[in-house]
Structure 1
Amino acid sequence: MTHTILIVDDDPIQRRLLDSMINRLGYMTRIAERGEQALEILTGPDGEGIDLVVLDLVMPGLDGMGVLSRLRQAGKAVPVIVQTANGSIETVISAMRAGAADFVVKPVGAERLAVSIKNALRAEALEDEIRRINRHAQGALTFKDLVTRSPEMARVIRLGERAAKSNIPVLLEGESGVGKELLARAIQGSSERRGRPFVTVNCGAIPDNLVESILFGHEKGAFTGATERHVGKFVEANGGTLFLDEVGDLPLDAQVKLLRAIQEGEVDPVGGRKTVKVDVRLISATNANLIEAVKQGRFREDLFYRLNVFPITIPPLRARREDVPDLARRFMARIAAEEGKRLRGVSPEAVALLSSYSWPGNVRQLENTMFRAVVLCDGDELTVDEFPQIAAQVDGFEARIPPAPPAPPPLATPPAYAAAVPQFQSARMVEEAFAPAPLVALRDPSRVSLLDENGDVRTLASLEEEAIRFALGHYRSHMTEMARKLGIGRSTLYRKLKELGLDDSGEDTEDAAA
């Protein structure tokens, strides 16, 4: 989904010109004929869908400066580009002080307006990311910090808002990389435990013999290597939230003690003489089917019912493609600032490409893909060329691969070189020094041998494998070009690569460098 820009102008001719110009730039538009109407839109239920405002300063009734003042009072942070026929420095300073992101002088050209819009949207995306990172660090992340335009995610957010109003145990379900921890932090940031400890435990990364010690703590000398006392994650999260990621990977013996800690609100440290009372909000997450794990005996049924009190399923990114453009732009703005790159945005073609891809690795894969694209980009905008691996898997898109650098020319030996070099003492020494090297038979890397090492004719399967391996390097893993030159379909090529063990696709083949 593209950005929506609100045009506020009392002149019908100017409104039509701006509407046509902005639509040609690839953005959606809404129209307001006066300042009061613009405020109704921006402060109403449709205000969240407005990404930028192009505002005329001189209007009857509530003028542009009045709209800026009211927006500031209402706490609306939407970027505003003001337009005026008077381009004096006093007017510009007044508008900037009132909160405008940029200004244009009537009549504005398409190129000037395009640059202004891209700069304003990029700055707003970067500011939003900075605000979100700060709130993340302070434990004050809220649901407003979650980037989404998807009805599916809107339902998830509504459930999260209800869960935040109580201390009910929450189980977050969804594929890896969909943002389960981010939703858990938003639940805490919107609850009465806002700003208190948020402790994360990756249950799948803890060795079985250390699970009990890490979760519940241990006393000094409780076991070999326990040289000091450790309070455990439950005590660390006392008063706040404990997030158990991949809870389905906990061993069965640890599940028993976890059940008791949840029921009784107390933990038994390893080697301790008494229990420790704790007050924690428990949020669990899993990418596995816990019901199936219960049936197979890998997860305790009583613990499942203790954790699965308020389940929330987060849809994968391919089920909410409306979120891809906003996520991509925000990732680009943050990563470009971190890498010192001056990028204005993502081209409409690249946005269409990213929105068409299935994203098996979800939001995490998208972020890594944007990281690689920003690093590779040499221009001021990300295009399809920065996503060659993604374009190879989406029909209708093709990225240009830069040609390989030419081989360096052979070193020439000037005839008069010997006279200029004093270490050559005789004509014979000169001849020996510049004599041609003995010829060595080199095997052409593009030549395929039809015989094996025993002198027998090679199998068709081995010849096919060698041809595919050579094409993989020759065309630099550009699947569309490989398939075309080999004379096979792209799906057939992917299948053969998988059979040969050359395909680390899904999240890896096209994004291994991300």
Structure 2
Amino acid sequence: MTAQILLIDEDATERRSMKAAIEAHGHAVHVADTAHAGIDLFRRHRDAIGVVVIDAASAEGLNPNIIPMLAEINAAVPVIVGTAEGATETALNAVRAGAFDFLVKPIAQERLIGAIESALKIHRTSLQGRAPRRARTGSVSFVDVIAASAAMSRVVELGRRAAQSTIPVMLEGEAGVGKELVARAIHAASDRSSRPFVGFNCNSISPAQMEEVLFGSESQIGKLSEAEGGTLFIEEISELPPGGQMRLLELVQTGEVHGGGQQRSVKANVRLILATNKDLIEEVKAARFREDLYYRLNVFPITIASLRRRKEDIPHLIRAFVERFSLEQRLPRTLQVESSALALLTSFDWPGNTRQLENAIFRAVVLADGVSLREADFPQISAQMKDHRSGAAGPDAQPSVPEQSPIAKVQAALAERAAGLVAPSTGFSGGASGNVIVSTDEAGNVRKLAEIEEELIRFALKFYRGQMSQVARKLGIGRSTLYRKLKDYGIDPDDPQKDAA
């Protein structure tokens, strides 16, 4: 089936080569040599273009604003980013911004066409009214916030308290952790829930247009007016230019704002919720953000931890996403998740956080050809895990990123499996109580620490498929320590899975 593809690449030779490869498979190609020209083309053909392919292998790298700007025009169109070999940070930034896929140059034609065909399948589902929900637009409450971890439970508790007042709330955390979801939940739990919730992302529009779109002008109603009586959610507040910062300060100080061609001040009755993925104190020190505005806005800060620091939430998020997307795809029944896939997804660090996990699950559900999701349904994650393992440090290397307690993490995975998330046909075998590591014996006494440790190590060997570096890293111990413990418990280090749980 013919589709329209937008190709943005400043290299004329590569443009011609990729255009010819795409057209050879029956698709029409729009080409642009700059991000600005690409945005203009996309705006003119927003309803016709099915996939956008962007080159980020130039000296300037990926324009940080281009993916958010494309999403602002039509969020249902998948974006594929081409990166230079070794440009890991560029690829991660693309994923964090919402890219569907990334390709490492030089790109094989088969890989390019395969990625485009997968993206087109995603886009066709959106045309049928079942697009991935990059941002929730319906009613959201704190019930929708997955909070199996202590960190997210604290976020929910603080959010509920914030909902009872009208003071500004500052949501801090990396891109993709779910700041908008929490903001919507706060709005829904407040006495403004019947009034509008209006979002504005400072990264989705050029600085020259930002003030007019946010505060309005004689010819345009601003987001501030749209949110009258309700909640105005401003994302990436650190990117607001100086003029906008001054007018926002005026708003929080006086409850009214003027300027932008308006002849008089306009009163505004809005509740402000702000979000940032930067350290605003550092922005203040660097004179990029007004100190007086910072102290006016940072009244009730809530920090949302990255997904790699609250892995107890991952199995529950997987279940919620699989159920939701199975329903949206009108599958006859909810897909199961095989234990190998669950282990892979739980052990991955998710640099793009919940947004990246959601997109990975959506892609897998749409492209699945069976009744369960397998490890093979997540090729990008598997590839990144292999790269991580191949670059691992020496035998006694400690984890580079702080993790939750290994016992809490593995217990969460066990509990989720017991709840029925993992496909029964591929689950781990075990005794009557094999789905959990029990802390007391039959007499009700606390079991010895060595017994529980042995069970945990045996389970981790099975959970991570005998990958010793991975097992040691997740348990928070060095490899030499792990090998010593295997010897203590009579586990063969040359064939650890043989003796695993």
User: TM-score with structure 2 length normalisation?
Assistant: 0.49
Greater Rg, structure 1 or structure 2? 1
User: TM-score with structure 1 length normalisation?
Assistant: 0.47
